[in-house]
Amino acid sequence: MSASDCLIALDQGTTSSRALCFSLDGTVIAQAQQEFPQIYPQPGWVEHDPEVIWATVLSTARQALAEAAAKGFRPLAIGVANQRETTIVWDRATGAAIHNAIVWQDRRTAGVVQRLAAAGHEETVAAKTGLVLDPYFSATKLAWILDAAPGARERAASGSLAFGTVDSFLIWRLTGGRVHATDATNASRTSLFNIHDQTWDTDLLDLFSCPASILPEVRDCAADFGSTDPAHFGLSIPIRGVAGDQQAALVGQACFSPGSVKSTYGTGAFMVLNTGTRPVRSANRLLTTVGYRLGGVVTYALEGSVLSAGSTVQWLRDGLGLIAKASEIEALAASAGDMTGVYLVPAFTGLGAPYWDPDARGAILGLTRGVGRAEIARAALESTVYQTRDLCDAMAADGLSPTLLRVDGGMTANVWFLQRLADILGTPVVRPAILETTAFGAAGLAGLGAGVWSGPEELAALWRAGAEAAPKAAAAERDAAVAAWRAAVRRVLTA
């Protein structure tokens, strides 16, 4: 280990691929980002071209590596963080995908899911996987591809096809087809993986009509995932860390102790709470998932997903034209009075946890002639605040009350939002100094896998607080606002 060593994070997201190089003290020394097109073949369907995913990962990694090399840094190991659940099937001989990637947001398998639910399989799936029955997860997407691509089921049976989430596909490509593996966090989002005994589950494979022959091997998050083929970067770099993006953010936020919790505010918002070695079964429709697995020991997490967070701000910008850029919402919201009585329920694509109502649609309630742009802007930001409060209350009802929230993602640039979050949660909210938490988590796992740090405690020592907001609102004001929000939500729920 030397001061010129660096760790490379490949953060393959839903709308862009990013590569970041971190020095061993956690400083970003190089980065590159490339957006890529979304493919919408039909309403409710979302696909990515796997070759485009690969091309953007390769070119951003090359750019970041070149920049790091120019600064005198040498890559020690690679860590991968990825959009979760997105499903790819490829040919083991050629490496070519047999169909576009089916993206996590894709709803095409809703009918299959409804049939499975009607047949009473929800409980079995939840007990084994910790997940709800929903098209969101990989299993039904995988079966759909095998049924849609000509001859795929026969080719799968003869062992010539491979399945993977995006991490697995990238590892295959990066290693020149030498390694077909995934990590426990990504496996836990497929709906095929038993999170208790940490194995692919034969009952689930039967239930979802998925053959065992195409599955990757499941490894720890900090483990040996092979090395890059020299053809890609001119040198062979070990791949030593892998996690789904939200779990990588959990690591990047150093949420290593039971009860610690992070919430990431991008397009959607994802709150993940460390529950230690105990998988907590939620009575409030939160997901039980693998937080990370290190040294063969599983740390579990409870997760709540909010479907529209930053995307509500985008709607104000692109749909309503109330603001020209996202950052303008802060001053506008701050200019509204304190008691506006306006509530915006952003159920543009339904509501996620804890409501899980795919058919609900959005509403703005409490309009009077005194309501203008500022009040709508404030209600838009507050909708993410209240949805976070809903998740916190669901966690509390499951016996795990968060006492401090670590936050990250694009929306957390907004200080008004951070203060309102602290006020409505009634707990302090902290944004870290390293804002690139997902990438930092991937790099951190790679560092653990490469022996840079002996364990999570050493990695946690690199975490520093950036901004902090403490709750100031009176409890009565908070309770009244939350009650009014819940009344607004009830107006849009369909069941």
- Closer to ligand ADP by CB, 199 or 327: give it: 327
- Nearest CA-CA partner of 237 in 17, 29, 8: 8
The 262-281 site mask, x for binding ligand ADP (CB under 6 A), equals: ----xx--------------
Q: Is 45 exposed, middle or buried (0-12, 13-18, 19+ CB in 10 A)?
A: middle
Nearer to ligand ADP, 201 or 330 (CB): 330
DSSP classification of residue 357: B
Instruction: Phi first, then psi: give them for residue 80, nearest 5 degrees.
Output: -115, 130
Does position 327 bind ligand ADP by CB under 6 A? yes
Which residue of the chain is nearest ligand ADP when measured via CB? 410
- Please report how many Cα atoms fall inside a 13 Å half-sphere around the Cα of residue 320, on the Cβ side: 16
Min dist. Cβ of residue 388 to ligand ADP (A): 14
Look-up: residue for tokens 């209600």? 379
* 413 binds ligand ADP per the rule CB under 6 A: yes
Alpha carbon distance 141, 138 (integer Å): 5
Tell me if 335 contacts ligand ADP by CB under 6 A.
no
Q: What are phi and psi of 120, to 5 degrees?
A: 85, 25
How many residues bind ligand ADP, per CB under 6 A? 17
284 or 314, CB closer to ligand ADP? 314
Compare residues 152 and 342 and give the one whose CB is closer to ligand ADP. Answer: 342
Q: Are 115 and 133 in contact (CB under 8 A)?
A: no
Interface with ligand ADP, residue 414, by CB under 6 A: yes
Looking at the Cβ atoms of 164 and 310, the one nearer to ligand ADP is 310
270 vs 343, which CB is nearer to ligand ADP? 270
The DSSP call for residue 196 is T
216 binds ligand ADP (CB under 6 A): no
Q: Tell which positions 15-54 bind ligand ADP, by CB under 6 A.
A: 15
According to CB under 6 A, which one of 329, 353, 391, 488 is a site residue for ligand ADP? Answer: 329
Contact between 432 and ligand ADP (CB under 6 A)? no
What residues pair up with 357 in beta bridges, in sequence order? 351
Of residues 28, 19, 24, 48, the one with CA closest to residue 166? 48
- The least CB distance from residue 14 to ligand ADP, in Å, is 7
Q: Any contact of residue 436 with ligand ADP (CB under 6 A)? A: no
> Phi then psi for 461, rounded to 5 degrees?
-65, -20
State how far the Cα of 423 lies from the Cα of 445, in Å rounded to an integer. 34
287-316 footprint of ligand ADP as x/- string (CB under 6 A): -----------------------xx-xx--
Q: Which residues bind ligand ADP (CB under 6 A)?
A: 13, 15, 266-267, 310-311, 313-314, 326-327, 329-330, 409-411, 413-414
